[in-house]
A = this chain, B = another copy of it.
Amino acid sequence: MKTISIVGTGLIGGSAALDLRKAGNVRELIGVDQNPEHAARAVELGLVDRILPLQEAAAVSDVLLVAIPVSAIQKLLPSLLDMLPPQAVVIDLGSTKSLLCEAVRQHPNRAQFVAAHPIAGTEYSGPTAALEGLYQGKMNIICEKELSSEHALHTAQEVFSTLGLKTIYMQPEEHDKHVAYVSHLSHVSSFLLGLTVLDVEKDERNIFTLAGSGFASTVRLAKSSPDMWAPIFEQNAHFLSHALAEYIKHLQRFQECLQSGQTQELYQMMQQANQIRPVLDGIAQVSPVVK
């Protein structure tokens, strides 16, 4: 039986709390949250049993799951490792890994830390967005595994199996490069599509009368929280900027073909894009659509 602290009681931390409690081998779930409203809501919703300041939570916890914006993780990690009792384990669930790993690479307590990223989420945020089963069947990436102690890795693996996550290992740079393409770029494309259409709508009444489920699907991620995503984009600026340049290049090529009437070329680009089908069928298998 473990005492587990959830640092950041939002969608990511709150969803983990729900499934850890459901699995039944938790002594106590402690919430840590700077936002008093979120803290109160997390207790009210039964995500955590009580709220403690970080230092007190660290003193009594076997595991601390850190699920706050990545800029805040970067600042918090060194001081959290400073105050950590010897047997406690810190696991971060942030969507970037290079800067977070770098922030504690030389820390004397680095071995007590596991750098992780479960690939799961929705466009909603805060304690009320917490969902049972969010992590079930999803992928999880642990970075710089070799810098974590056996005990820390074993503890983290217990938590991740309880959540139903399937863990693979990568180096932080490799992780950040890949997620720039398959996660961060989708978010940028969606945010900017939303913004583009909203800008046009200022001059054109009722444009949204014509929006259907295709538009809704493509622009869904534009509902995501800037508090969470601005720091992710900032931390992954190098790889994301590269991905964005590739995307813009493809869009410009498409626009050229469109303007010069090269329909055959457009057709071929779409046909190539269709090869995403088996990939999406694979994702559908591991990641049932979350409401």
Contacts and interface: CB of A to CB of B under 8 A. Distances in A.
B241 A251 contact: no
Interface string A237-266: 100110111111011101100110101001
Contacts of A182: 197, 207-208, 210-212, 215
Interface in A161-219: 168, 175, 177-179, 181-183, 185-201, 204, 206-219
Interface stretch (A14-22, A49-57, A274-282): A274-282
A122 to B, nearest CB: 8
Given A193-B186, A199-B246, A250-B192, A277 B211 contact: no
Contact of A196 (B181, B210, B280): B181
Interface stretch (A81-89, A144-152, A222-230): A222-230
A198 B251 contact: no
B290 A195 contact: no
A287 interface: yes
A23 B200 CA distance: 39
8 contacts: A141-B210, A177-B204, A178-B207, A178-B210, A186-B214, A191-B269, A211-B279, A220-B280
